[in-house]
Structure 1
Amino acid sequence: MTGSVVYFLYPTLCSRGSSTHSSQCPQSYHDPPSIGSRTLSSPRTMACSRTCSRILGLSLGTTALFAAAANTVLLFPNWDVTYLLRGLIGRHAMLGSGLWGGGLMVFTAATLISLMGWRYGCFSKSGPCRSMLTVLLSSGLALLGALICFITSGVALKDGPFCMFDVSSFNQTQAWKYGYPFKDLHTRNYLYDHSLWNSVCLEPFKAVVWHVCFFSALLCISLLQILLVVIHFISSFLGLFCSLCGK
């Protein structure tokens, strides 16, 4: 309230020409005086937004590398390449959503976000329209890739691993085949019943543990990516809005 009174009385005080106030009057009374340390500058707000973009870009890029690594490991159960060569890899891992979704798409968006934060190249003098367009493009690209990876990982955990199991209980003859033994097992949930982990899948060795660990990692990574994208969008929008208000 005191700051508002000083602001409106400032032109009157400056126009009197008294020696007391003449040394304190600015060249143009249209510029409001600084009251203590309350004056907020638009450059400071934009600098904070750029710092957030640098941190979020680095974080998203790191999560994209972890997602690509987790999906790559799923292609080599027990570090054995023969399953991939024989085509005995589940469709969820072969889809590669962690490679091109949570990996490549998110990494591309992270690169755009980092370039905006460091004001490098064509982003050195980006106007409001170009900045907002880049924010929407990078956020949409990263969000789409993370959502694809998240949904695929959730479905993979629901269906269970692709492995060789015994089907003798169905036709009374001893036989083994590759498939999804837990997909049609409605009476028991393999995620909670650990006694099924080593008794159903015969090959690859510890296929359930391998499947659950790395698809759970992909699920958590993609969820973290979605959270980072939302934070980036909110931070960039507030920074752009504050800069326009400051101007």
Structure 2
Amino acid sequence: MCSGSFAKCLGISLMPLSIVCVLCNILLFFPGGNSVDSEHITVEVWYFGGILGSGVLMIFPALVFLGLKNNDCCGCCGNESCGRRFAMLSSILFAAVGVAGAGYSVIVSAVAINHGPKCLFQFNDTVQLWDPPFSNGDYLSNKSSWETVCLKPTGVVSWHVSLFSVLLVMGLVQMALCAVQVVNGLLGCLCDSCCGGSDGSV
């Protein structure tokens, strides 16, 4: 398969993943599906890992990958294949941007899952607080405590864990796809975008 065609497939795959990540990040602003005050939203949500990292920053490499197959650059010094090789080489830089963006989303998601959500919980017999009630990720193996510890919003723990888990997995998939394009771009650059083609066409 030509490097340009393969890159287009990667770009097509990245687009829906980016949309899913943006939607997940937006839903996290409504813990448990409820509208709450901004100070009651987990701080990691405000880092916009899904919107910026796996969303906006991923759109650029996706668009670049989509356009590689149709690259008809005239090349340099009349050498058309030189232009195609440069396009494949530049795609490696955009793939690196994608890896960085997805990596940011993965880190934010992992930290958020470890910290747990903010919710209203009983601090002592007389005081209720809006804070993360869990000190570390140990709560993940104790699902029975999710509803008993967090009084409000209802279902906030499962909402938090589910959406950040989706962001984590989607980010890892995006990183893998961008890493594949790094290899694909190197091969395309070295093999004139289509290793088996004698005319250098994509």
Larger Cα Rg: Structure 1 or Structure 2? 1
Per the alignment, residue 202 of structure 1 pairs with 151
**Paired residues for 1:9-20 under 5 Å:** none
- CA distance in 2 between counterparts of 1:48 and 1:129 reads 13
Structure 2 gaps of 5+ residues are none
Give the 4+ runs in structure 1 shifted more than 4 A: 120-123, 244-247
> Which of 224, 228, 234 is equivalent to 2:177?
228
2:111 maps to 155
What one-letter code is carried by the residue in structure 2 that aligns with 1:75?
A: F
1:159-205 Cα distance to aligned partner (Å, 9 max, x none): 1111111110xxxx41101111112x6xx811111111111111110
Higher relative contact order (CA 8 A, sep 6+): 2
> Which segment drifts farther, 70-79 or 128-137?
128-137
Is the counterpart of residue 71 in structure 1 residue 25 in structure 2?
yes
- TM normalised by structure 1 equals 0.71
**Given the superposition, is the C-alpha separation of residues 158 and 122 from structure 1 closer, same or farther in structure 2, using an over 3 Å criterion?**
farther
Kindly provide the amino acid, as one letter, of the partner of residue 11 in structure 2.
G
Q: How many residues align?
A: 191
Instruction: Look up the match of 1:53.
Output: 7
Cα deviation, 1:20-60, whole Å, max 9, x if unaligned, reads xxxxxxxxxxxxxxxxxxxxxxxxxxx61111011000111
The corresponding residue for 1:99 is 51
The alpha-carbon deviation at position 87 of structure 1 amounts to 2.7
State yes or no: 1:190 paired with 2:139.
yes
Q: Partner of 2:39 in structure 1? A: 87
Query: What residue ranges of structure 1 are gaps of 5+ in the alignment?
Result: 1-46
Identity %: 29
- Distance change >3 Å, CA 222–CA 120, structure 1 → 2: farther
Q: What is the deviation of 1:121?
A: 8.3
Matched residue type, 1:237: L
Task: Answer yes or no: is the 8 Å Cα contact 1:54–1:118 preserved in 2.
Answer: no
Mapped partners of 1:93, 1:86: distance in 2: 10
Among 171, 180, 184, the residue aligned to 2:132: 180
Alignment RMSD: 2.4
Contact 2:29 2:41 in 1 (8 A): yes
| CA pair 113-209 structure 1, distance change in 2 beyond 3 A | same
What TM-score, normalized to structure 2? 0.86
Alpha-carbon distance in structure 2 between the residues aligned to 1:94 and 1:204: 18
Match of 1:215 among 157, 164, 174: 164
